[in-house]
Amino acid sequence: MPVRSSRFVRHGWAGLVASVLSATLLAGAAAAATPPLSGEKAAFPPFDVATFSGQLFWLAITFGALYWLMSTIALPRVGAILEERATTISRDLDNAAQMQAKAEETAQAYESALTEARKNAQAIAQASRDAGAKASDERRHAVEAELSAKLTKAEATIATTKTSAMSNVRGLGSEVAIAIVTKLTGQAPSASEASEAVDQVLARG
Protein backbone atom coordinates (compact mmCIF):
# COMPACT_ATOMS: atom_id res chain seq x y z
CA MET A 1 0.00 0.00 0.00
CA PRO A 2 2.66 2.55 -0.87
CA VAL A 3 0.20 4.98 -2.42
CA ARG A 4 -1.94 5.01 0.70
CA SER A 5 1.04 5.74 2.92
CA SER A 6 2.32 8.43 0.56
CA ARG A 7 -1.04 10.08 0.61
CA PHE A 8 -1.04 9.93 4.37
CA VAL A 9 2.39 11.57 4.55
CA ARG A 10 1.30 14.20 2.08
CA HIS A 11 -1.82 15.01 4.05
CA GLY A 12 0.17 15.25 7.25
CA TRP A 13 2.53 17.76 5.73
CA ALA A 14 -0.03 19.42 3.57
CA GLY A 15 -1.86 20.65 6.65
CA LEU A 16 1.29 22.14 8.07
CA VAL A 17 2.46 23.67 4.84
CA ALA A 18 -0.87 24.77 3.42
CA SER A 19 -1.18 28.00 5.36
CA VAL A 20 2.42 29.00 4.70
CA LEU A 21 2.14 28.08 1.06
CA SER A 22 -1.09 29.92 0.39
CA ALA A 23 0.37 33.07 1.90
CA THR A 24 3.63 32.87 0.00
CA LEU A 25 1.96 31.87 -3.22
CA LEU A 26 -0.43 34.80 -2.94
CA ALA A 27 2.48 37.11 -2.27
CA GLY A 28 4.39 35.64 -5.17
CA ALA A 29 1.43 35.80 -7.49
CA ALA A 30 0.79 39.39 -6.50
CA ALA A 31 4.42 40.27 -7.06
CA ALA A 32 4.44 38.46 -10.38
CA ALA A 33 1.13 40.01 -11.46
CA THR A 34 2.29 43.58 -10.92
CA PRO A 35 4.51 44.17 -13.92
CA PRO A 36 7.95 45.40 -12.99
CA LEU A 37 7.71 49.13 -13.54
CA SER A 38 11.33 49.92 -14.10
CA GLY A 39 12.15 46.63 -15.85
CA GLU A 40 15.30 46.39 -13.73
CA LYS A 41 13.36 45.87 -10.50
CA ALA A 42 12.57 42.14 -10.82
CA ALA A 43 9.54 40.33 -9.47
CA PHE A 44 9.54 38.00 -6.46
CA PRO A 45 12.92 36.28 -7.04
CA PRO A 46 11.81 32.61 -6.81
CA PHE A 47 9.25 33.25 -9.55
CA ASP A 48 11.59 35.25 -11.79
CA VAL A 49 11.49 33.24 -15.01
CA ALA A 50 14.62 34.96 -16.31
CA THR A 51 16.76 33.09 -13.76
CA PHE A 52 15.29 29.65 -14.51
CA SER A 53 17.57 28.71 -17.41
CA GLY A 54 20.74 29.59 -15.51
CA GLN A 55 19.58 27.81 -12.36
CA LEU A 56 18.61 24.68 -14.27
CA PHE A 57 21.92 24.74 -16.14
CA TRP A 58 24.03 24.95 -12.99
CA LEU A 59 21.76 22.55 -11.11
CA ALA A 60 22.17 19.98 -13.88
CA ILE A 61 25.96 20.37 -13.77
CA THR A 62 26.30 20.29 -9.97
CA PHE A 63 23.72 17.57 -9.33
CA GLY A 64 25.15 15.51 -12.17
CA ALA A 65 28.61 15.89 -10.67
CA LEU A 66 27.33 14.96 -7.21
CA TYR A 67 25.47 11.91 -8.57
CA TRP A 68 28.56 10.79 -10.47
CA LEU A 69 30.86 11.31 -7.47
CA MET A 70 28.49 9.51 -5.11
CA SER A 71 27.58 6.58 -7.37
CA THR A 72 31.10 5.86 -8.65
CA ILE A 73 33.37 6.79 -5.75
CA ALA A 74 31.77 7.53 -2.40
CA LEU A 75 28.96 5.00 -2.07
CA PRO A 76 30.83 1.91 -3.34
CA ARG A 77 33.73 2.83 -1.06
CA VAL A 78 31.63 3.34 2.08
CA GLY A 79 29.62 0.23 1.23
CA ALA A 80 32.83 -1.76 0.89
CA ILE A 81 34.10 -0.45 4.23
CA LEU A 82 30.86 -1.44 5.96
CA GLU A 83 30.85 -4.85 4.31
CA GLU A 84 34.47 -5.45 5.23
CA ARG A 85 33.74 -4.52 8.82
CA ALA A 86 30.73 -6.84 8.93
CA THR A 87 32.77 -9.75 7.53
CA THR A 88 35.66 -8.99 9.89
CA ILE A 89 33.37 -8.97 12.88
CA SER A 90 31.53 -12.13 11.89
CA ARG A 91 34.84 -13.87 11.12
CA ASP A 92 36.25 -12.87 14.50
CA LEU A 93 33.09 -14.07 16.22
CA ASP A 94 33.32 -17.38 14.36
CA ASN A 95 36.95 -17.73 15.34
CA ALA A 96 36.13 -16.99 18.96
CA ALA A 97 33.32 -19.55 18.95
CA GLN A 98 35.64 -22.14 17.43
CA MET A 99 38.33 -21.40 20.01
CA GLN A 100 35.82 -21.71 22.79
CA ALA A 101 34.56 -25.03 21.44
CA LYS A 102 38.12 -26.25 21.21
CA ALA A 103 38.88 -25.12 24.75
CA GLU A 104 35.78 -26.86 26.04
CA GLU A 105 36.77 -30.00 24.18
CA THR A 106 40.24 -29.86 25.70
CA ALA A 107 38.80 -29.32 29.15
CA GLN A 108 36.51 -32.31 28.66
CA ALA A 109 39.39 -34.47 27.45
CA TYR A 110 41.46 -33.42 30.45
CA GLU A 111 38.58 -34.19 32.75
CA SER A 112 38.05 -37.65 31.26
CA ALA A 113 41.79 -38.36 31.33
CA LEU A 114 41.86 -37.35 34.95
CA THR A 115 38.98 -39.67 35.91
CA GLU A 116 40.59 -42.46 33.89
CA ALA A 117 43.89 -41.97 35.67
CA ARG A 118 42.18 -41.89 39.02
CA LYS A 119 40.38 -45.14 38.23
CA ASN A 120 43.64 -46.69 37.08
CA ALA A 121 45.43 -45.57 40.21
CA GLN A 122 42.74 -47.08 42.40
CA ALA A 123 42.92 -50.35 40.49
CA ILE A 124 46.72 -50.43 40.78
CA ALA A 125 46.60 -49.66 44.48
CA GLN A 126 44.02 -52.37 45.04
CA ALA A 127 46.04 -54.90 43.05
CA SER A 128 49.29 -54.12 44.87
CA ARG A 129 47.51 -54.26 48.19
CA ASP A 130 46.04 -57.64 47.28
CA ALA A 131 49.39 -58.90 46.05
CA GLY A 132 51.13 -57.72 49.22
CA ALA A 133 48.54 -59.37 51.41
CA LYS A 134 48.81 -62.58 49.44
CA ALA A 135 52.61 -62.64 49.63
CA SER A 136 52.69 -62.00 53.35
CA ASP A 137 50.05 -64.67 53.91
CA GLU A 138 52.11 -67.15 51.96
CA ARG A 139 55.23 -66.31 53.88
CA ARG A 140 53.40 -66.66 57.17
CA HIS A 141 51.93 -69.99 56.17
CA ALA A 142 55.38 -71.23 55.16
CA VAL A 143 56.92 -70.07 58.42
CA GLU A 144 54.10 -71.65 60.43
CA ALA A 145 54.46 -74.93 58.56
CA GLU A 146 58.20 -74.92 59.16
CA LEU A 147 57.73 -74.14 62.82
CA SER A 148 55.16 -76.89 63.30
CA ALA A 149 57.46 -79.34 61.51
CA LYS A 150 60.30 -78.37 63.86
CA LEU A 151 57.93 -78.70 66.80
CA THR A 152 56.84 -82.23 65.90
CA LYS A 153 60.47 -83.15 65.34
CA ALA A 154 61.42 -81.78 68.71
CA GLU A 155 58.51 -83.56 70.39
CA ALA A 156 59.64 -86.83 68.78
CA THR A 157 63.20 -86.27 70.00
CA ILE A 158 61.90 -85.57 73.50
CA ALA A 159 59.78 -88.73 73.41
CA THR A 160 62.68 -90.95 72.33
CA THR A 161 65.00 -89.36 74.83
CA LYS A 162 62.37 -89.90 77.50
CA THR A 163 61.89 -93.64 76.70
CA SER A 164 65.62 -94.24 76.53
CA ALA A 165 66.03 -92.37 79.82
CA MET A 166 63.25 -94.42 81.33
CA SER A 167 64.87 -97.73 80.23
CA ASN A 168 68.17 -96.49 81.66
CA VAL A 169 66.35 -95.70 84.90
CA ARG A 170 64.96 -99.31 85.07
CA GLY A 171 68.40 -100.84 84.54
CA LEU A 172 69.86 -98.46 87.05
CA GLY A 173 66.98 -99.26 89.49
CA SER A 174 67.46 -103.03 89.32
CA GLU A 175 71.19 -102.62 89.80
CA VAL A 176 70.60 -100.37 92.80
CA ALA A 177 68.00 -102.86 94.15
CA ILE A 178 70.48 -105.75 93.83
CA ALA A 179 73.16 -103.68 95.61
CA ILE A 180 70.71 -102.69 98.44
CA VAL A 181 69.42 -106.29 98.92
CA THR A 182 73.02 -107.65 98.93
CA LYS A 183 74.01 -105.09 101.52
CA LEU A 184 70.99 -105.87 103.76
CA THR A 185 70.79 -109.62 103.45
CA GLY A 186 74.27 -110.52 102.28
CA GLN A 187 72.62 -112.59 99.66
CA ALA A 188 72.53 -111.35 96.05
CA PRO A 189 69.15 -111.78 94.30
CA SER A 190 69.03 -112.83 90.74
CA ALA A 191 68.87 -110.13 88.12
CA SER A 192 65.49 -111.30 86.86
CA GLU A 193 63.95 -111.13 90.40
CA ALA A 194 65.36 -107.61 90.86
CA SER A 195 64.08 -106.34 87.53
CA GLU A 196 60.64 -107.93 88.24
CA ALA A 197 60.48 -106.10 91.55
CA VAL A 198 61.46 -102.78 89.90
CA ASP A 199 58.83 -103.31 87.22
CA GLN A 200 56.20 -103.86 89.99
CA VAL A 201 57.21 -100.64 91.73
CA LEU A 202 57.22 -98.68 88.47
CA ALA A 203 53.84 -100.11 87.52
CA ARG A 204 52.48 -99.04 90.95
CA GLY A 205 53.75 -95.54 90.16
Partner 1 sequence: MAAGGGIDPIHQFEIKPIVGLRPFGLDLSFTNASLLMVCVVAVVSAIMIYGSSQRSVVPGRLQSLAEMIYEFVASTVTGVMGKEGMTFFPLVFSLFMFVLAGNMLGMIPGSFTVTSHIIVTAAFAFLVIGTVLVYGIVKHGSHFFGLFVPSGVPGWLLPFMVLIEAVSFVSRPISLSLRLFGNMLAGHIALKVFGGFVVALLAAGGAATIIAPLPLLLAVALTALEFLVAFLQAYVFAILTCVYLNDALHPGH
DSSP 187: -
- The residue among 35 and 205 lying less far from partner 1, judged by its C-beta, is 35
Using CB under 8 A as the binding rule, whether residue 90 contacts partner 1 is answered as no
For partner 1, the binding residues in 96-155 under the rule CB under 8 A are none
| Of positions 26, 29, 74, 188, contacts partner 1 by CB under 8 A | 74
CB of 97 to partner 1, least distance (A): 20
Please state the closest distance from residue 121 (CB atom) to partner 1, in A: 52
Sign for the CA dihedral angle at 97, 102, 108, 114 comes to negative
Q: Per CB under 8 A, does 34 bind partner 1? A: no
**4 vs 10, 12, 14, 98, 117, CA distance in Å?**
10, 12, 15, 49, 74
Residue 175: how many other CB atoms lie within 10 Å? 14
Dist. CA 21–CA 16, nearest whole Å: 9
What is the rounded CA–CA span in Å between residue 125 and residue 127?
A: 5
CB of 10 vs partner 1, minimal distance in Å: 6
Which residues would be at the binding site for partner 1 (CB under 8 A)?
Answer: 1-3, 5-7, 9-10, 13-14, 17, 20-21, 23-25, 42, 44-48, 50-60, 62-63, 65-67, 69-71, 73-75, 77-82, 84-85, 88
